[in-house]
Each structure stands twice: as C-alpha cells, then as structure tokens.
Amino acid sequence: MNKIFCLAFLLCSAPIFAQKDYSLTSINKELKENSNSILIDELVEIDVSDINKMKTKTHRVVAVLNKMGDGDTNLFEFYDTNSRVKNVEVRVYNVFGKEIDRFKKKNFLDVSRTGNNMYVDSRMLYLNYTPTTYPYIVVFDSETETGDSAHISPWYPLGGYAESTQKSVLKVTFDPANKPKYKAQNLEGHDISISETPEDITFSASNLKAIRYEEHSPSKSKILPHVTVALNSFKLKGTLGSGKDWQEFGSWMNTSLLSNVNELPQGTVLRVKSLVANETTNEAKARKIYQFVQDKVRYISIQIGIGGWKPMLATDVDKLSYGDCKALTNYTKSLLDVVGVPSYYTVLYGSHAERDIISDFTSLQGNHVILGIPDGDEITWLECTSQDTPYGYIGSFTDDRDVLIITPEGGKISHTKIYKTEESLQNNASKVKVNADGSVTAIFESISEGLQYEDKYLLPKKKREEVDEYYKNRWSHINGFSVDNFEFKDDRENISFSEKVVLTIPNYANPVGEDYLFCANIYSQNIYIPPRIENRKQNLYIGYGYLDIDRVEVEIPENFSIETLPESKVLENKFGKYEITFSKTSDNIMTYSRKLRMEKGEYPPEEYENYRDFLRSISRLDKTKILLKQNVQ
C-alpha cells in the first residue's frame, strides 16, 4: 500500500486544491511513515467572548492513506436542545485533485450521540462515507453554536496513533475579564507553540510525526500532546457556573446540580428507616441500603438535563426503578441521607486504562460517577450501576485514580482504592489422575480475590454453554477437554469467588513409545509473549499487580513410575517473581507447585525487552514435562 501511495503522489504534479494550494507532493516524507492518515491542515476557532453563546468554526483537511485511516476523518458534529449545527459540509477529492463527492448538511444522518441510550437529548449529525479508492482527501467545514461554555473541547493536534499532522491550529477568542486557563500536556519534543494577545490564545502545531502504537504503553492521554482549556466563569444549560478552584467548583456542583434532586417519597423514607432500624454502625446501614438499591433498580444510560451532568430526580428513580450512573448514585446517596450516613457524590474517568481527574486544573471533567462513604481518613467506594458488584468493591474500571468528591465543604481531589499485589490473589488447587491411556481426570478448585475476582463473579449468571466457552478460552492451551461439572460460590461479604470444576482431558499425556511425557502445569501456562518492538519509544506499563498460586497433586497409573523430577526454578527481577517446585510424596503421587507474583509499574522503554525475556522464560518453564515411565515386565 505504501508503494502504491508514493507512486500515486509522484504522478500528481498539480496542486489538489488550487484555491488553498494544498499538494500532497509537498508533504514531508516523514509524515507518511507509520501513518494511516495525515492531518494536512486544521483550523478550529472557538469564540467564548460571550459565555452565553460559544461559537465554533472548524476547517479540516485530512488525507486518508488506507482503510485503517477512514475513522480519522471525524465527519460529525454534536448538538442538543441548547445548541445547533449552523452549517456542515464535506468535499472529497481523489489523489489527482479532482473533486469526486460533495455533501451538504441535508446529506448527514441525524442520530443519537451514543446510539444506545434510552433517553438522550444529545444528538449527532454524521456522514457515513464509504470510499471507493485510496488514498483520498477529505475537506470538512462546520459551524456550530451553543449556549453552553462549561466544556471547551480539548485540542489534540495528533488525534491518535498512526496519525500525523502537517498543521493544526486552535484559536480561542475570549472576554479579557474572563480569560481562559489552559493545561498543556506531553508537548515536549513536538513543534508546538502558544501565543497570546489580550483577547485570544492560539495553539499551533506543525509537522508532528505519527506515534506508533506499542503494546504495554501508558494510556493515550499520557502520550499524545494535548491542551485542555476552561473558563473560570461559564454557563451550562442556562446555569451560571464558576470554578477558580476545586472547592468552588464542587460548591457550584452541589448547589446547581445536586441540591434539588434528592427528595424521596415518604413511603420509601419509612421503608429504608425500618430496614436499618436495628443497625448501629454506618457500614451496616450502608450495606443494607446498597443491597436495597441493587434489588430495586437497573442501569440504563440517560443523557438529558444539564449537559448530561445533572442527575434525574431521586423520586423518578424510585418510581421507574432505573437510571444512569448519575441517577443511581444520587438515589443511593439520597437513601443514605435519610438514615444519617454521609456519602460523597464522586466524579471520575471510568476506564480500564487508568485516567486521573487533572488535579491541578479545575474544569468540567470525568465520564462516570460513583459514591464514596467516608470512615475517618478512609473512603469505601460503591459502584451504584451494578446489581451484582459486592458492597465496597471496585474493579479495574475505577480503581487507583484521582477523582473529584463533592463534600459539604466543596470539591476535593481524592484517590480510589489501590489493590496491593497480594490482594489480587488467585489460589488454585487441583487433584489430577493420569490414566493408563494418557487421558486425565481432574478436580480443579480456585479462590479469586481483588482484581482477579472481577472477571469471575458473574459466572453464576451464565448459561451452561457460556460457562463451557469461558473455560475453553481460559485454558485455550489445552487441546480439547470437557467440563463435566462445576460449582461456584460468590462470597460477597469477603469479596472472594470460589470455583470447583471437574474436567476430563483426553490424550493429555504425550506418548513416547510405551512411556508418557506429562506437563503438571495444566491450568496456568503462560502463552502470551508481547511482540518484539524495535526502537521502542514509549514507557513499559504493567497495569496491575497480581499473585497466582498453584498446587497440583498428580496421581500416575500404578504400572508407571517417575524416575527423575525436574529441578526447582526461581526467577526474580523488578517485574516480579516466579517459582516452581516438584516433589514426590509416594511412588505414584507427585506434587507440582507454582507461584507467580507480577508487580504493577512503569519502566523506561529499554526495559521492554527484559520484560519480554521474563515472560518468555516463564512460558518455557510452564511447559516443563515429566517422563512417566511404564514398568514393563
């Protein structure tokens, strides 16, 4: 594809857009390397000189080099009941500069912003363009206007991985009495400049090379250059807001978004008071309230009201028995208020790739809401959207990140639970019988806690065929087996999940003449080795730590013997520690033990190859085999 791309551009001698003098032949060769698309020219002009009317003009020219770059054109604009798309237009050109398509506003699809919300007043004008050839060039022009000035879209001169930029400019015009603040991140090493006048700020980027995706990197927000912009005084759906610091911002949220949404029906008030009448501690009361909520309501996504930020009324949640994260969190908080248990409405970025609220930049941030219950200096976090999550458990979607809690004194930055390595435990024990024909029957038992609890506690809700599929994926290194029986126990009080699985594995032991080669590590073989990355640029990031413990008791057939056991092995470095041991307890019974401790952490790029070597060594040792020798008479 790259050769075709270069040849096509060499054939193109005339400027593609005479009126703008765009020519792909003039683009720096380095911008084409590792790129699916090139942002040739972008100018975004945002006018917030009147906080009651934010105006945005966008002009963007993107060259799409291959199919992977189709999504980089961003042919859409959002609007809602308080905003409008005044104009939007797209022109498409082929590599020779000939216009091949033109689309007006009437050609755009008008759809819900998310496509799956039950209630939503945020919508999107979207052009579903299907190219007929590559490369092609898209020119996108739009003009929008909104009564909201609380959220100014951040500037990302590089939109993502495998995207390069020739030129990108953001210009923000403002009232000098309400000058925007901005937070620049990851600009080092890029040709990016910032200039100011008394009435505007301009951010300019030139010749930004594509950033290659590299496995085990930190989140994109810690890699891509970007600038976040916000006003200290703003409007949100006609509501005046202010946020010079988090305390002031939290007080505004408490007053404008949360103060008039917590009323409950008298019948519900009496019911929950009766529910906790015999409880003497806040934790005991909160546990009962949380279970009450889980039994009563279900989660749906709702994006209406003040920019999708104001919760629906607690009375409506009580009546309808559903709500989104804001609504269900506010409903739970309202119930706790009734029984005298303090709690904090908490805003954060929910994502399996950890992302913090920017603690030193006060602005409208986050995409999710949970509830915090204070107990001295500690906070117990509740995920109110789940009907199954135990009290006080949060998983990788919300753990270990800076969040904004709304307290009676205003907003404060806090931090969610950090799971220690030993807390995320998976403890496996198994009894295995090797049959004379090489097949294996086994009873597998396991206890999972911490972050390892997360992917298992919903197993009891799965159908039989779904459970079978789960174990076939989990033990994909085993070539064919059947799950004969299984039992699950979810200890929600101690947040511990137990499994007991009976399985049969035909032809597991490999025949060698009349003998067998047998791998005692049936369940925990590491088959993942990260790909080789030459000239790695990004830090190595290991997202969470965990501890795996395995003990397998193996009974071999009576007419077989084990002459030699493999040596014990220990590997230890900054990434973790791996240990395996083999022992013989009788003539026909041996025990295999394995312990793997992996540590969460971030390391320089040059450590990536050492990490690969560690996992490769583990993978090799995990496949250690034992010779079961048949006693021939």
DSSP 236: E
Q: What's the CA gap between 58 and 202, in Å, rounded?
A: 14
DSSP E strands, 94-232: 99-103, 109-112, 119-120, 123-126, 136-146, 163-174, 181-185, 192-196, 200-208, 226-230
CB 540 within 8 A of CB 605: yes
Nearest partner of 174 among 230, 244, 238, judged by Cα: 230
What does the pLDDT look like over 392-424, one tens digit per residue? 999 999 999 999 999 999 999 999 999 999 999
Asked if residue 10 has pLDDT above 50, the reply is no
Other Cβ atoms closer than 10 A to 289: 26
**What is the DSSP code (8-state) at residue 155?**
B
Concatenated DSSP letters for 273-337? HHHTTT--SHHHHHHHHHHHHHHH-EE--EE-SSTT-SPPPHHHHHHH-EE-HHHHHHHHHHHHH
338-354 per-position pLDDT tens digit? 999 999 999 999 999 89
Q: What integer is the mean pLDDT of 139-149?
A: 96
pLDDT band at 379 (very low <50, low <70, confident <90, very high): very high
Degrees, nearest 5: CA angle 561-566-567 = 140
For the chain, list the domains and their CATH numbers: 2-236 (2.60.40.3140), 243-415 (3.10.620.30), 421-630 (2.60.120.1130)
Identify the bridge partners of residue 180 per DSSP, sorted by sequence position. Answer: none
Distances, alpha carbon 530 to alpha carbons 326, 354, 506, 562, 600, in Å? 38, 20, 31, 35, 16
15 pLDDT more than 80: no
Query: How high is the mean pLDDT of the chain?
Result: 92
Is the preceding omega at residue 225 within 30 degrees of 0, hence cis? no
Q: Which residue has the tokens 């496996």?
A: 428
pLDDT of residue 22: 58
Residue 256 has pLDDT above 80, yes or no: yes
pLDDT of residue 20: 61
pLDDT tens digits along 513-558: 999 999 999 999 999 999 999 999 999 999 999 999 999 999 999 9
d(CA 324, CA 368) in angstroms, rounded, equals 9
pLDDT of res. 114: 59
C-alpha to C-alpha distance for 403 and 468, rounded to whole angstroms = 38
Instruction: Tally Cβ neighbours within 10 Å of residue 183.
Output: 15
**What confidence tens digit (pLDDT) does each residue in 195-209 have?**
999 999 999 999 999
Q: Tell me how far apart the alpha carbons of residues 18 and 491 are, in angstroms, rounded to a whole number.
A: 69
Question: How close are the terminal C-alpha atoms of the chain, in Å?
Answer: 66
User: Tens digits of per-residue pLDDT, 479-517?
Assistant: 999 999 999 999 999 999 999 999 999 999 999 999 999
For the chain, how big is the Rg over CA atoms in Å? 30
pLDDT in tens, 49-87: 999 999 999 999 999 999 999 999 999 999 988 899 999
Helices vs. strands in the chain: H and E counts, helices first = 8, 38
- Tokens for 593, please give them: 């033990």
User: pTM for the whole thing?
Assistant: 0.90
Q: Please choose, from the candidates 162, 19, 17, the residue with its C-alpha nearest in 3D space to the C-alpha of residue 94.
A: 17
Q: Is the pLDDT of residue 242 over 50?
A: yes
Burial of 485 (0-12, 13-18, 19+ CB in 10 A): exposed
Is pLDDT at 118 greater than 90 in this prediction? no
Mean pLDDT calculated for residue range 608-617: 98
Alpha carbon 29 to its chain centroid, in Å, reads: 34
Q: How confident is the model at residue 97 (pLDDT cuts 50, 70, 90)?
A: confident
pLDDT of residue 303: 52
Cα–Cα dist 108/124, whole Å: 9
For position 98, what pLDDT does the model report? Answer: 85
- Token duo for residue 317: 């949640």
Lowest mean pLDDT among 71-75, 291-295, 297-301: 297-301
Q: DSSP label at 4?
A: H
Identify the pLDDT of residue 300: 83
Question: For residues 102 and 476, what is the distance between their CA atoms, to the nearest angstrom?
Answer: 50
Helix (H, G, I), strand (E, B), or coil: what is residue 249?
Answer: helix
What φ, ψ does residue 247 adopt, rounded to 5°? -60, -45
How far is the C-alpha of 155 from the C-alpha of 147, rounded, in Å? 20
Residue 195: per-residue pLDDT:
98
Q: What is the pLDDT of residue 6?
A: 39
